[in-house]
Structure 1
Amino acid sequence: MPARTLAVDFGTSNTAAAFLDGGTVRRLMIEDGAETLPTAVFFPADQGGMEIGHQATRALIGGEDGRYMRALKSVLGTALFREPRMIGGKRRTLAQIVTAFLVTLKARAEAQAGVPFDHVLSGRPVHFHSADPVREAQAEVDLRECYSAAGFERIGFLYEPEAAAYATHGLGPAGGVGLIVDIGGGTSDFTVFEAASPRPHILASHGIRLGGTDFDHAISLSHVMPHLGFGSQLRRSLGDGLLPVPNAIFTELATWSKIPFVYTPDTRRSVVDMRRHAVEPERLARLETVVTDQLGHELAFATEAGKIAANRGEAGARIDMGCVEPRLSVEIDTASLDSAMAGFGPRLRAAMVETLHMAEVSPERVGAVIFVGGASAMALVGAEAAALFPRATQHRSDAFTAIIDGLALATGHPEGSRPSAT
């Protein structure tokens, strides 16, 4: 029965669920009447129950004492995923946390749909780790085991851009060639398809590990972290001369998935020592505040908000760092945004070219480029596509629901799933 298969878009930044109800996609309101929820968790310091989604974000912003975690998908396939750490008053692995997230998602979906879901069709990027085949293979194993532990008896996977093609192929010219550009939180995925009815004919899919969290990382390092001491210098304890401030802590603070692991006694002691030897101690004092008061996620949210404002061309856009120091903020505009992200354009274009090569399709044959995924709204992405496909029309589908709609539709055509994606 189709209603027994739950479609799940477990994303780096957001998660959605749906099923096929009498041939119609039915998205499930999985939190507060919303069709999507942030892929985030919060563990209260008093060892209370885990919060997920918007409730987790509200707990963080509200100043509750505890551990906030986001971008869990990005650590699939790594040793960190199975490494026990003290989180929320007990030793847990990220695998256990993802499983608990999926257990809650399954329970909410079943309660709203009124039916049990024994099977799941999950989206997945074309490549979890584009440069590491060992991690790549392990990532799907990790996610499959989490779904199994959450109570699903049969687990299938479909590439996320191919799912988006199921939902949006009608935007392309009938019988023509289209390209899905799916830029999510952690990966960039591409699918070349021929528009057909009732479902598209997939020609090729390709992906790289590059997404919105990488954009945030670059912007944080270029705009925010210098005000905390990134790029500054330290006086030697003995002898003359200066040393650069180590980069590692700034890199971790600028990485969504690593922020929770910065707040250790060793890190705090290291920051105090660096402040004592800093040429610009006021900057390192801010870093000490961030680490001591655990403000990394607040800065990450502020960076993300500044990125969005600058991308929209809003005058006077700034990154608000007032949580660290009253009235502290950083200007961000189109020029500084483009400068921070300059290295990503060639990588995106190369990935699109490779997808065309795999499909044996020339750029001139692409009649439509369809953007999905939240980070596809970045001007850089549209500009690269326009340069490569000047004759193609550009369409912006619903950034957060195209994939989940396509996954639900695909549950009605299981023979349409590519062997490489199941």
Structure 2
Amino acid sequence: MGTDGHVLGIDFGTSNTAAGFLHNGTPRLIALADGKTTIPTTFFFDFETRQTLIGEPANQALLDGADGRFMRALKRVLGTALMHEKRQILNERVTFVDVIARFLKHVKTRAEHETGLTFDRALSGRPVVFHGQNDPRENRAEADLRACYLAAGFRGVEFLPEPEAAAIASGALAHGSTCGLIVDIGGGTSDFSVFRSERGAVSILANHGVRIGGTDFDRAISIDRVMPLLGKGTQLRKVIGPGLSPVPNAIFNDLATWEKIPFLYTGQDRRAAGEMQRLAEEPEKLQRLVSVLRDELGHDLAFAVEKGKIAVNSQGQQSHIALGVIERGLAVPLQADELDQILAPHAHQLRDGARETARLAGLAPDQIEQVIYVGGSSMMSMVAQSMKMLFPDARHAFSEVFTAVADGLALASAQR
């Protein structure tokens, strides 16, 4: 990058986004909405007003039942063929590069309006892995994200691994010389950095990541607890002859996946659901699936699952997933031990990822003295439980979970 202009640090997240810059040696976060330094990474294309809503207004439009198309978790589409497919949205054909660019343009405009500065360059956080180690989509994903920034009006962009940014922001937390681990559990990825901190300076010893995050937790809960109410696991009568066959799982898997929900409201999918309902051994369950597709309630279900997950995690015993949007009074109970069982495979992956990061840094688990958690999904109790099993003697602390990456990017921007 050149030396003119100002650098804006942007933590473009799967679920939430924050941005900041260095002001008089201190990170200053941008108010991306009234009084809020983080906003949901969501979009709503309002079919009536022809407006594109971003962040909380997009969420509210969905909850209010406005006629339009809602999108979330588009960061997980980076590196895939979907990024460059043109789709008819409102009055134009656009790609997801165009859609994400509009979001980043909103961030850039808010920052410039608030500060009076011109931010022509960006320092963007990026997950350690978008899809997986040695996955051919890795380079494409970063190239896609770069294209989004350029389309948003930035003249240049550099990338910094998100847990590395969080480690930079955590430097003040160190007490003397210490080796620590950043555990950054976001909406779409879980990233780890081993760092050494000494006299306020932070050096990164190893980065590693796995492609699971909060949206995967939601997906697992939805498939296990909600989709059976819509017919998953039930039987269909064969069209010709006697016998039964299982209901196909694909449509339930997609309906439980945030980034795939917008693509399910097609005539083909609705007809398929109607045919399954006609042949179903338990037609009342498949009728719920028909209703969800007909009334485009997939994101309402996903938000209900997320809300139930947060409730049982914070209450520590049990809660429920309220599904009254489909059928009056419909709900499914969710207990803490059931949640732990559903998320057990993810907990295992998190421990493997953290263990591998320590190995890459040349350290045994008992040499990690401090574990710092960032990212909204790090507040899931199973995350800390998993890390305490692996690092029982370390100090465990929660940083500014929603803004630590943006703080670190703002600090690092001074070096650009």
Quote the Cα distance in structure 1 between the aligned partners of 2:268 and 2:93.
19
Quote the Cα distance in structure 2 between the aligned partners of 1:301 and 1:286.
17
State the secondary structure of the residue aligned to 2:352.
Answer: helix
Partner residue, 2:353: 351
Quickly say closer, same or farther: Cα 1:89–1:340, change in 2 above 3 A: farther
Aligned CA RMSD, in angstroms, stands at: 1.3
CA apart distance, 1:131: 4.8
Higher mean C-alpha displacement, 335-344 vs 208-217: 335-344
State the secondary structure of the residue aligned to 1:312.
Answer: helix
TM-score (norm 1): 0.96
Q: Residue 400 of structure 1 is aligned with which of 379, 382, 402? A: 402
CA apart distance, 1:94: 1.0
TM-score (norm 2): 0.97
Matches within 5 A, 1:113-262: 113-131=115-133, 133-262=135-264
State the secondary structure of the residue aligned to 2:201.
Answer: coil
Quote the Cα distance in structure 1 between the aligned partners of 2:364 and 2:316.
37
Partner residue, 2:53: 51
Instruction: Encode CA deviations 1:44-93: one digit per residue, 9 max, x unaligned.
Output: 11361211000101111111000000001000000011111222343221
CA apart distance, 1:2: 9.2
Quote the Cα distance in structure 2 between the aligned partners of 1:315 and 1:196.
41
- Asked whether 1:363 is paired with 2:402, we answer no
CA apart distance, 1:313: 3.3
- Asked whether 1:337 is paired with 2:345, we answer no
Partner residue, 2:96: 94
State the secondary structure of the residue aligned to 2:304.
Answer: helix
Instruction: Encode CA deviations 1:104-149: one digit per residue, 9 max, x unaligned.
Output: 1111111011111011100000000115521111000000011011
Higher mean C-alpha displacement, 269-278 vs 45-54: 45-54
Matches within 5 A, 1:9-48: 9-46=11-48, 48=50
Higher mean C-alpha displacement, 44-53 vs 362-371: 44-53
State the secondary structure of the residue aligned to 1:123.
Answer: strand
Q: Is the 8 A contact 1:47 1:88 kept in 2?
A: no
Quote the Cα distance in structure 2 between the aligned partners of 1:363 and 1:260.
42
State the secondary structure of the residue aligned to 2:220.
Answer: helix
Quote the Cα distance in structure 2 between the aligned partners of 1:270 and 1:262.
11
Q: Residue 106 of structure 1 is aligned with which of 85, 99, 108? A: 108
Q: Is the 8 A contact 1:171 1:368 kept in 2?
A: no
Quote the Cα distance in structure 1 between the aligned partners of 2:89 and 2:339.
35
Matches within 5 A, 1:70-85: 70-85=72-87
CA apart distance, 1:315: 4.7
Q: Is the 8 A contact 2:10 2:409 kept in 1?
A: yes
Quote the Cα distance in structure 2 between the aligned partners of 1:166 and 1:10.
18
Q: Which residue identity does 1:219 align to in structure 2?
A: I
Quickly say closer, same or farther: Cα 1:96–1:360, change in 2 above 3 A: same
Quote the Cα distance in structure 2 between the aligned partners of 1:346 and 1:147.
35
Higher mean C-alpha displacement, 173-182 vs 87-96: 87-96
Q: Is the 8 A contact 1:3 1:19 kept in 2?
A: no
Q: Which residue identity does 1:108 align to in structure 2?
A: R
Q: Which residue identity does 1:226 align to in structure 2?
A: P
Q: Is the 8 A contact 1:20 1:411 kept in 2?
A: yes
Q: In the comparison of the two structures, how many residue pairs are matched?
A: 414
Q: Which residue identity does 2:53 align to in structure 1?
A: E
Q: Is the 8 A contact 2:191 2:207 kept in 1?
A: yes
State the secondary structure of the residue aligned to 2:410.
Answer: helix
Any stretches of 5+ residues in structure 1 without a counterpart? Answer: 415-422
Quickly say closer, same or farther: Cα 1:58–1:332, change in 2 above 3 A: same
Partner residue, 2:392: 390
Q: Which residue identity does 1:254 align to in structure 2?
A: A
Instruction: Encode CA deviations 1:238-266: one digit per residue, 9 max, x unaligned.
Output: 11110111111111110000100000011
CA apart distance, 1:175: 0.9
Q: Which residue identity does 1:222 align to in structure 2?
A: D
Partner residue, 1:419: none
Any stretches of 5+ residues in structure 2 without a counterpart? Answer: none
Moved over 3 A (4+): 313-316
Q: Is the 8 A contact 1:45 1:89 kept in 2?
A: no
Quote the Cα distance in structure 2 between the aligned partners of 1:270 and 1:163.
46
Instruction: Encode CA deviations 1:3-55: one digit per residue, 9 max, x unaligned.
Output: 71101000000001111111111111011221000000000113612110001
Quickly say closer, same or farther: Cα 1:361–1:15, change in 2 above 3 A: same
Quote the Cα distance in structure 2 between the aligned partners of 1:167 and 1:3.
23
Partner residue, 1:299: 301
Higher mean C-alpha displacement, 287-296 vs 123-132: 123-132
Higher mean C-alpha displacement, 360-369 vs 120-129: 360-369
State the secondary structure of the residue aligned to 1:33.
Answer: coil
Q: Is the 8 A contact 2:119 2:154 kept in 1?
A: yes
Q: Is the 8 A contact 2:177 2:199 kept in 1?
A: no
CA apart distance, 1:316: 4.5
Matches within 5 A, 1:273-292: 273-292=275-294
Quote the Cα distance in structure 1 between the aligned partners of 2:365 and 2:87.
48
Quickly say closer, same or farther: Cα 1:118–1:110, change in 2 above 3 A: same
Quote the Cα distance in structure 2 between the aligned partners of 1:210 and 1:322.
29
Q: Is the 8 A contact 1:16 1:35 kept in 2?
A: yes
Quickly say closer, same or farther: Cα 1:218–1:255, change in 2 above 3 A: same
